[in-house]
Each structure stands twice: as C-alpha cells, then as structure tokens.
Copies of this chain bind each other. A is one copy, B any other.
Amino acid sequence: MSQSASDFTSRLVFNEQGLIPVIVQQVDTREVLMMAWMNAESVALTLETAAATYWSRSRNELWVKGATSGNAQRVISLSYDCDSDALLMVVDQTGAACHTGDRTCFDAVTVHPEVIL
C-alpha cells in the first residue's frame, strides 16, 4: 500500500465491529447506487486495485463487487467525511448496482413528506 493510501486508511474511524459505512455514487449521473460496509483491509484493497471491495456482514467475508455477477465497480475516488466515520466512493458501475437487478438499491420504495414547505 502506498504512503497516501496507508495514511488515508489510518485516519478512518471504524465502529465497534471494525467497519465503516460507504456511500457509493455513480460518477457521471451522480446517482447514489448503494450503501455498504468496509473494514480496513477492504479499504486498502479497494485503493490498491481500483475494484470496489466490501465487507459482507451476512457472509463475514471480503466481497469484490461484481466478482460473481459481473456488475463491477471501477473506483474513481474515495473521500472520508468531517468525522472520519463515513466514506463516499465515486465509481463507474457496470450494469445494475443492486442484486435485485435494479440500477440502484434505492429504486424500490420512496415516500414524500406530508407537508410542502
């Protein structure tokens, strides 16, 4: 891992499970594609390979997005927030981001407030 990638990872604040949430945004359309989780190793692998790599909380294993589905994410940039406890990752998504086949994981159910301000 390069010094800059190592410095970046060392500044992150992981939760009690050693994880940090990552918001994934499509580079051109700026759609929010999904939210997932990374541990320190998956952050490092993502920066080394430019292939989005997460931690699966259900399978307890590293997970390279698209490794089985082909719907890979090429990583453009990774930013942490003002508290260093959340990540924003800009990617170029191949195909659908969601395992349901939807373009994004937020395509299914939307509500609006009851009042208009």
Contacts and interface: CB of A to CB of B under 8 A. Distances in A.
Interface residues of A, number: 49
A81 B34 contact: yes
A69 interface: no
Contacts of A93: none
Contact of A21 (B21, B31, B47, B74): B21
A7 B56 CA distance: 28
Taken together, the copies of this chain in the complex come to 2
A81 B110 contact: no
A32 B21 contact: no
Interface string A24-50: 010001111011000000000011111
Contact of A115 (B31, B50, B77, B79): B50
Interface of A: 2, 4-5, 8, 11, 21, 23, 25, 29-32, 34-35, 46-51, 74-83, 86, 88, 98-100, 102, 105-117
